[in-house]
């Protein structure tokens, strides 16, 4: 086997002259031996020590320091993620167990601590808070806020197109969260729909902020080609400079934001292709189809997204703060009230008039039947009419003057308004009972007014709001 090839060929021809099959087999093996290179030369454990890692998941009820595992939530690049309860503070957390191979090196542990510390400094409501980096029995864990809800990725895959309002709202909430992190110099680097949760109250929260590099296990977040066709990371949301392994800054997040919003608005990835590599090629070279041609979204929002998707970082917004400013400006200028918002405004004006009618009539009733009860009802109705009128007036004002804020304002005041309407209706019914002894007509009028307001609140308002904005109030 150590002799050179021509020698061996001659030797084989001499020794196995009468058996061509043996000769061919020997020559084939000799040929493969010369090409085998480093094949099997180095023992496998020395090359892939992490294969020996004990990767049994922790069972529910297992205790890790002060944490008790409730169940496994999933598995990511960093390792397994569990739902756990923290005995010290009695709160529920998401506990990420970091894979041992990520932290064998002390300098790597140090870097990891630094990143966790920086990530823990972020306390924006739109960012999932990092509570602690725990070292328990030589293993590292990151405890973060547990967000109960679903991811934007799931929302996109479910295939429901968002309304114009929802698209604005999602863009603003995400940009605001990103801006607060960028202001502290922290870049996400792996922003994607599966890293954004919508909690039970409908608020968005970005996960794994500042932790993306921990999963990669290298100081730079450059994608590594490990195998033809396999790219570590999430190439579909990476900015061109990130794919090329160049240094990244806040503008890479701005690019990822553009891809995410595009996908959220129209349900299709801007650079979709049949394979991961083809997608990467399109990210690097092709421009996305204009979003306005694929989804019913305000053209100004489409313009902002197009600027986020510029190939050259210098062509994008410099940071999420600039992006947020552009969104606000576009939203305020555009003031694109939805199609049926006029009827929605009429509704609010009419209800306000009904409040005034109710309060005025309560004054009249107090004149007819002057008891402490009727006086109190009049005063209470005056108060509810004032508060309700102000709130509904605020809606009409916001819809005309500051349209982008409207969804937030509507969400904030939905419940108080319903209680207010209920209270007004009950007060009017009580007044009807008080005045019943004096005459049937005033009683019937008060009764009708109360029922009318209650019905408008429970039936008409959801209908007009749905017609105007495509959602429930």
Partner 1 sequence: MVYDELRRLAAAYMRRERPGQTLQATALVHEAYMRLAGAGTPWHDERHFVGIAARSMRQILVERARARGAQKRWAGLNRVSMTDALAVASEPVVMLPALDEALTRLEAIDAEQARIVELRYFAGLSIEDTADALGMSPATLKRRWALARAWLFREMSGT
Beta bridge partners of 145: 93
**Min separation Cβ 7 and partner 1, Å:** 16
Nearer to partner 1 by Cβ, of 21 and 38: the residue is 38
Nearer to partner 1 by Cβ, of 44 and 346: the residue is 44
Contact between residue 234 and residue 170 where contact means Cβ atoms under 8 Å apart? no
Nearer to partner 1 by Cβ, of 50 and 148: the residue is 50
Nearer to partner 1 by Cβ, of 140 and 428: the residue is 140
Residue of 18, 86, 148, 190 marked catalytic: 190
Beta bridge partners of 127: 206
Nearer to partner 1 by Cβ, of 139 and 145: the residue is 139
Q: How far apart are CA 106 and CA 84, in angstroms?
A: 27
In 3D, which of 368, 366, 385 has the Cα closest to residue 376? 366
**Min separation Cβ 43 and partner 1, Å:** 3
Interface residues with partner 1 (CB under 8 A)? 1, 28-30, 32-33, 35-55, 100-101, 104-107, 138-139, 226-230
**Min separation Cβ 88 and partner 1, Å:** 25
Contacts of 98 by beta carbon, 8 Å cutoff, 6+ apart: 78, 79, 112, 139, 140, 141, 142, 214
**Min separation Cβ 63 and partner 1, Å:** 18
CA 79 from chain center: how many Å?
21
User: Is 190 among the catalytic positions?
Assistant: yes
**Min separation Cβ 275 and partner 1, Å:** 11
Catalytic positions, written as ranges: 190
């Amino acid at each position: 086997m150590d002799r050179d090839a021509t020698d061996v060929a001659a030797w084989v021809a001499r020794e196995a002259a009468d058996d061509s099959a043996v000769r061919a087999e020997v020559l084939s093996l000799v040929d493969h031996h010369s090409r085998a290179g480093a094949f099997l030369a180095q023992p496998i454990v020395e090359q892939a020590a992490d294969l020996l890692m004990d990767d049994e998941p922790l069972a529910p009820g297992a205790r890790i320091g002060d944490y008790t595992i409730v169940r496994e939530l999933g598995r990511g690049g960093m390792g397994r993620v569990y739902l756990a309860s923290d005995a010290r503070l009695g709160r529920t957390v998401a506990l990420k167990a970091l894979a041992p191979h990520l932290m064998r090196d002390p300098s790597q542990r140090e870097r990891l601590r630094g990143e966790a510390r920086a990530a823990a400094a972020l306390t924006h409501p739109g960012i999932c808070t990092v509570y602690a980096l725990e070292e328990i029995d030589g293993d590292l864990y990151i405890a973060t806020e547990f967000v109960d809800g679903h991811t934007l990725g799931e929302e996109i895959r479910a295939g429901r197109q968002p309304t114009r309002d929802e698209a604005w709202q999602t863009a603003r909430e995400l940009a605001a969260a990103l801006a607060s992190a960028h202001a502290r110099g922290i870049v996400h680097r792996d922003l994607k729909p599966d890293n954004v949760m919508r909690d039970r109250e409908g608020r968005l929260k970005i996960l794994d902020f500042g932790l993306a590099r921990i999963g990669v296990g290298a100081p730079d977040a450059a994608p590594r080609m490990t195998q033809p066709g396999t790219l570590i990371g999430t190439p579909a949301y990476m900015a061109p400079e990130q794919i090329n392994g160049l240094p990244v800054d806040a503008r890479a997040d701005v690019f990822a934001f553009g891809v995410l919003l595009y996908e959220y608005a129209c349900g299709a990835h801007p650079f979709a292709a049949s394979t991961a590599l083809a997608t990467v090629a399109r990210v690097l070279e092709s421009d996305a189809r204009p979003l306005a041609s694929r989804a019913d979204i305000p053209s100004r929002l489409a313009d902002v997204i197009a600027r986020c998707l510029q190939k050259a970082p210098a062509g994008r917004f410099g940071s999420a703060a600039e992006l947020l400013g552009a969104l606000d400006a576009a939203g305020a200028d555009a003031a694109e009230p939805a199609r049926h918002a006029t009827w929605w405004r009429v509704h609010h004006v009419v209800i306000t008039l009904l409040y005034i009618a109710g309060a005025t009539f309560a004054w009249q009733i107090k004149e007819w039947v002057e008891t402490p009860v009727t006086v109190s009802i009049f005063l209470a109705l005056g108060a509810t009419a004032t508060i309700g009128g102000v709130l509904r007036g605020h809606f009409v004002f916001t819809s005309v003057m500051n349209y982008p804020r409207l969804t937030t304002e509507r969400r904030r005041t939905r419940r108080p308004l319903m209680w207010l309407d209920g209270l007004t209706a009950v007060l009017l019914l009580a007044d009807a009972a008080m005045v019943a002894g004096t005459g049937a007509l005033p009683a019937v009028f008060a009764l009708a007014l109360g029922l009318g307001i209650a019905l408008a609140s429970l039936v008409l308002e959801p209908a007009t709001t749905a017609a105007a904005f495509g959602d429930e109030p």
